[in-house]
Structure 1
């Protein structure tokens, strides 16, 4: 069955609060005012946030201090990594898997293409790690990994971008293509692997390709999948931009009857703001959400702390609301002991949720690069409720 989601041409944009209204008490009228991350109280006209979310609008993640040395940080060995996705082992409650982009030949973040590969790391110390290298899943060039469980297929699915590419021992950035849409850095085109055990992976090749034309999304990358229903249908959110990414980076949706495709794209972006790195999920009430790396002037690629945005919709087909009022997370991270670091770049957001019907966000995974450093690593930051969840698990 082919699924085509029709998106309304209208959209909702939340304007930034001016300084003159910053001291005004926020009043909600509907749950939409609470970003669908909480309920609007009919008696007090204030938002009652779901666990894991905070701020008057419930638009900010309720982040706890991170712990130095957790996540996947091998920069002391001159090894960079970027982004990550936590998977809780289905057989061993104390084992956690991390799938991330790791760079070969001691190359830094600037050389993610073509030196990125997909790494499988493991930890017995909790979802935040620290994680240790287990194996290489896909060699160079492979990037943007994310892993989901498909109940219909009873398989783990790993989506990524890339194609086989030999690399020089000295870090260089050659032009190459992995398919239509881009001949500069190989970023266009989305592939998938499947596994029954998280260790042995079967490649299925590229399931969604770009185009060599003038489309706004000729260049496609940043896959974020989500199963739809029980028949194997799949949602795939992606970032599109013109050929060779010569214009605005925008977010849209595609759907397919199975994870193998064919994927049917929407005809337009779901909101006009420039973003990348979407991470999509459906909450306990059936609403849809995304975390995004914002490319706004005070965020983007090292331009300031405004890097994490949230978008939401009551229905997948829209209308989608992009929240430009409340920052979901920033480039500033507090660590245990009181240390605070403002990272030069913080991108590739993904979440780890509680494994019950509540779908509480427990950990935020991002790729970070410190000011003045060529290296990068995979940071994992706990969210309010994470400690209690770990204690209940026996960690």
Structure 2
């Protein structure tokens, strides 16, 4: 898994910091406190109204040792996760530790805005995201609701199928922009992105569910996702994209413009008119990063009920291998020897130390009641 080195005399792998297992494919996650404490969000109780959130980017302040920044998706108007396609907004929050609890400092984008992914670039910081931040108007036509969901209470969505229909994904293509700021504290400015030679028929969402790596020369390499691509492509296909700079022109890349189709016992290789998907299976929530050895890695949400943490690796960032080992699950061990099983655990991000080792896993998790969710930060051992 490019997460260690083989030691011939031991006939075993020595894993890099942050990883474990026979093939160094499992994140070395540390036990959590027995009391469930969201990094961002408020569990609804009789004394406190619930605040739901769903994943974040995390960064340590470059100047203050005891200051951490989180850029997180919060569900507005007291709603839960079922409302994310309308009520998600992007918030900047801070805390004294990576585990929080984080306190809101500023609302960067109103609903609907989602999937904030922070990247350091020359001259400042960029937040990639999806959504138009226009009051959930774009994508509402013909859905039965224009604007945000309002039938919510205490961090949950009431009768979401009837009162909170999902928008269509026209907003994905309509609002391809990022936020830029010279500092983590703003001011943040929206800046449009451009695309060239883009296969809009198949990679139909532009940059979505993405996780950019910024090279030393400014070049961007990232994954993106399409949804409902024409058969026989995966329904949620993952593509590789690049640009000469974060504000340059993005296009799809890939070594082999082919993909494998399996129907029963038969296997067939089909050609495409351009680069095909990076993987032969459907996934979402991509997060790409480089480790200290210079290898590329990515985490995904795999839609398995338990083994949710998909992992892929690459030597050059172009040719990728999907690991057979699950990087993490929705089961979390506690310091008291107990186990917490979350209904969903998605939107993975990792925080890397100065040597490129993962030290924290950030995910969105669901927890009763109903569709309440919060942002979870778990330590990763050396």
TM-score, with length taken from structure 1: 0.78
State how far apart, in whole Å, the 1-side matches of 2:287 and 2:346 are: 11
- Alignment partner of 1:258 is 2:257: no
In structure 2, what is the equivalent of residue 163 of structure 1?
132
State how far apart, in whole Å, the 2-side matches of 1:85 and 1:382 are: 15
Structure 1 residue matching 2:183: 3-state secondary structure: coil
- Structure 1 residue 209 displacement after superposition: 9.9
- Say if 1:74 and 1:243 are closer, same or farther in 2 by CA, change over 3 A: same
In structure 2, what is the equivalent of residue 64 of structure 1?
30
- Alignment partner of 1:142 is 2:113: yes
State how far apart, in whole Å, the 1-side matches of 2:216 and 2:200 are: 33
Cα deviations across residues 271-315 of structure 1 (Å, max 9, x unaligned)?
Answer: 1121111111112222111011112xxx1xxxx211001100111
In structure 2, what is the equivalent of residue 389 of structure 1?
none
- Structure 1 residue 176 displacement after superposition: 4.6
In structure 1, what is the equivalent of residue 376 of structure 2?
379
Structure 1 residue matching 2:209: 3-state secondary structure: strand
In structure 2, what is the equivalent of residue 121 of structure 1?
93
- Say if 1:168 and 1:328 are closer, same or farther in 2 by CA, change over 3 A: closer
Task: Tell me the C-alpha RMSD between the 2 structures.
Answer: 2.3
Query: Which of 54, 60, 63 lines up with 1:91 in the alignment?
Result: 63
Structure 2 residue matching 1:364: 3-state secondary structure: strand
State how far apart, in whole Å, the 2-side matches of 1:275 and 1:159 are: 19
In structure 2, what is the equivalent of residue 29 of structure 1?
none
- Say if 1:88 and 1:277 are closer, same or farther in 2 by CA, change over 3 A: same
Structure 1 residue matching 2:284: 3-state secondary structure: strand
Cα deviations across residues 236-285 of structure 1 (Å, max 9, x unaligned)?
Answer: 22122336999611212111122112101132111112111111111222
- Say if 1:138 and 1:314 are closer, same or farther in 2 by CA, change over 3 A: same
Structure 1 residue matching 2:86: 3-state secondary structure: helix
State how far apart, in whole Å, the 2-side matches of 1:248 and 1:209 are: 23
In structure 2, what is the equivalent of residue 322 of structure 1?
322
State how far apart, in whole Å, the 1-side matches of 2:196 and 2:112 are: 16
Correspondences of 1:140-219 after superposition (within 5 Å): 140-150=111-121, 153-166=122-135, 167-170=148-151, 172-174=163-165, 176=167, 182-183=169-170, 186-188=171-173, 190-199=176-185, 200-207=187-194, 214-215=201-202, 217-219=203-205
- Alignment partner of 1:39 is 2:36: no
State how far apart, in whole Å, the 2-side matches of 1:210 and 1:117 are: 31
State how far apart, in whole Å, the 1-side matches of 2:38 and 2:245 are: 36
Gaps of 5+ in 1: 1-34, 386-395
State how far apart, in whole Å, the 1-side matches of 2:127 and 2:347 are: 16
- Say if 1:168 and 1:44 are closer, same or farther in 2 by CA, change over 3 A: closer
- Say if 1:343 and 1:190 are closer, same or farther in 2 by CA, change over 3 A: farther
- Alignment partner of 1:104 is 2:72: no
Structure 1 residue matching 2:212: 3-state secondary structure: strand
CA contact (8 A) 1:89 1:95 kept: yes
CA contact (8 A) 2:196 2:251 kept: no
TM-score, with length taken from structure 2: 0.80
- Alignment partner of 1:275 is 2:283: yes
Structure 1 residue matching 2:83: 3-state secondary structure: helix
Aligned residues: 329
Cα deviations across residues 219-243 of structure 1 (Å, max 9, x unaligned)?
Answer: 341121111232x221222122336
- Structure 1 residue 354 displacement after superposition: 1.1
- Say if 1:133 and 1:244 are closer, same or farther in 2 by CA, change over 3 A: farther
